[in-house]
Structure 1
């Protein structure tokens, strides 16, 4: 039986956003069966899948745990790797699906993107590049309203571009140099650097580090990057520092995301319980916050 922390696993990677979260349970729509599978973690730690017939199919989506993502010398990353060893990487999924999910996350929460994607899947009985290229714009705007109705234009236009330029598939990007695949993704409507890198890493197998505001904040505090702030220039510097200077594998950035979500928070970092508190340089943090005393 695999030892998995379901919450950590499902909160931090694009492929996991195909699962909608509701009442501490995760639901994924399988178009071929026109049915949802439900995944939950029981109090004893075991994973339950309903209907049970989907158990093997669901569990096959878990690939390997985070204690296998890094083999370098950074004491901080080695500590985090052990701390988050019950968090798993999900297997590579359809790059087009990951593209749509990532677009839905732009400037929105993961929870919003999950719900919107699940709604799209049910409405269209499974989405693909041809369905989205031919979608009615007004209808699509209503379906994705909570994740940004303006993204309907991105989805329709980028889908048409994929059909016109690449015969309706992004699969060819697995076998070309990363730079070529990244440039092709960036040429699509609505696709920026973070979106392109998420698709490259989580669905196409390219070893890149997606960088956003949260990654900027945490890597700077950890001393893994010399950048400051979260401007586009800072993000480019963070990406260069992580990929070239620190030689961090793409999937290892999940360790940094986990730390930022759980402890290295933007306003009040939880230094008093942080797993790397004693070895973190706390770059840019004026003082370590202490827990409030209660009377």
Structure 2
């Protein structure tokens, strides 16, 4: 969590909508549509469209939803890290117009994260949008009683086998926790994580995403991309992306460097935009000059194309 920081009004701040929508689970309720993003609000059975205009302003349609939409923008990435690591300090300055969206319902976060397992974010977004429309808003009881074959068809592009995950873990939440995982906000992170890992179809990254983006626990979700960037930048001395390496990276980031959970979004952005798996863009990376580039010795740097 951020701690005591000034409340910022997203309506008066510069926002990079693409970066904001591309890096966090809380943004996956917004589906790419035309030049912007579409979100279904089940309480009013309404789609709302959001796009960024050429002058940087955000346009919301219908306009009467503007206040509701802008309230979802919580704070910029410039606030997620207050330490002295130069890699992260440069990154947060570079991504200062990327915003963290507010915490969402933890059950919604759980379902979206399951849909992202081994799939792209865009695939999960489109699948979630279909689910929301079909069920007029999903909740634990609707999913626990969903017809498995119908659900398999609805989520086919994100993996039909996940229908079993969704139905069974929803039933477990009802049976074990009276239909809610909200109680996990007020218990230690370790206890909440163990409870989530005990649900069918929930692995370490899924559990950590739910803890961070919906339950307010400052944990660092670790995947292949976090491993790669952490190794190259020296944030972790782990190598590779085995399960053992992921545990080491998580330990290094959370305990040795004491990086707040939301600060891992800076690492994700670096990986997506510059520290790519095959052709890292050293020439234009915001941490060029201070990055040790561990493990990139045999890689070829992608060169600028002259226009």
TM range (shorter): over 0.9
Structure 1 runs of 4+ aligned residues shifted over 3 Å read 292-295
Equivalent residues of 1:14, 1:198 under 8 A apart: yes
Q: Which residue of 2 aligns with 1:289?
A: 301
Q: Which residue of 2 aligns with 1:108?
A: 119
> 2: distance between equivalents of 1:76 and 1:48?
34
State the Cα distance separating 1:71 from its structure 2 match: 0.7
May I ask how many residue pairs the two structures share in their alignment? 295
Q: Which residue of 2 aligns with 1:184?
A: 195
Q: Which residue of 2 aligns with 1:99?
A: 110
Q: Which residue of 2 aligns with 1:167?
A: 178
> 1: distance between equivalents of 2:135 and 2:17?
28
Q: Which residue of 2 aligns with 1:128?
A: 139
Equivalent residues of 2:279, 2:302 under 8 A apart: no
State the Cα distance separating 1:79 from its structure 2 match: 0.4
State whether structure 2 residue 157 is matched by structure 1 residue 146.
yes
> 2: distance between equivalents of 1:22 and 1:277?
34
Gaps of 5+ in 1: none
State the Cα distance separating 1:2 from its structure 2 match: 2.0
> 2: distance between equivalents of 1:207 and 1:42?
34
Q: 1:161 to 1:290 in 2, by over 3 A?
A: closer
Using structure 1 for the length normalisation, give the TM-score: 0.98
Q: 1:284 to 1:131 in 2, by over 3 A?
A: same
> 2: distance between equivalents of 1:292 and 1:89?
31
Q: Which residue of 2 aligns with 1:54?
A: 65
Equivalent residues of 1:129, 1:168 under 8 A apart: yes
> 2: distance between equivalents of 1:200 and 1:127?
20
Q: Which residue of 2 aligns with 1:19?
A: 30
> 1: distance between equivalents of 2:191 and 2:235?
27
3-state SS in 1 of match to 2:215: coil
Among residues 71, 83, 89, which one is paired with 2:94 in the alignment?
Answer: 83
Among residues 243, 246, 256, which one is paired with 2:257 in the alignment?
Answer: 246
Q: 1:246 to 1:82 in 2, by over 3 A?
A: same
State the Cα distance separating 1:24 from its structure 2 match: 2.6
Equivalent residues of 1:271, 1:288 under 8 A apart: no
State the Cα distance separating 1:25 from its structure 2 match: 1.0
> 2: distance between equivalents of 1:68 and 1:110?
25
> 1: distance between equivalents of 2:257 and 2:96?
21
Q: 1:78 to 1:150 in 2, by over 3 A?
A: same
Q: Deviations over 1:6-54 (max 9, x none)?
A: 0000000001001101223111100110011101000000000000011
State the Cα distance separating 1:288 from its structure 2 match: 5.9
3-state SS in 2 of match to 1:265: coil
Alignment of 1:167-246 (within 5 A): 167-246=178-257
> 2: distance between equivalents of 1:211 and 1:24?
31
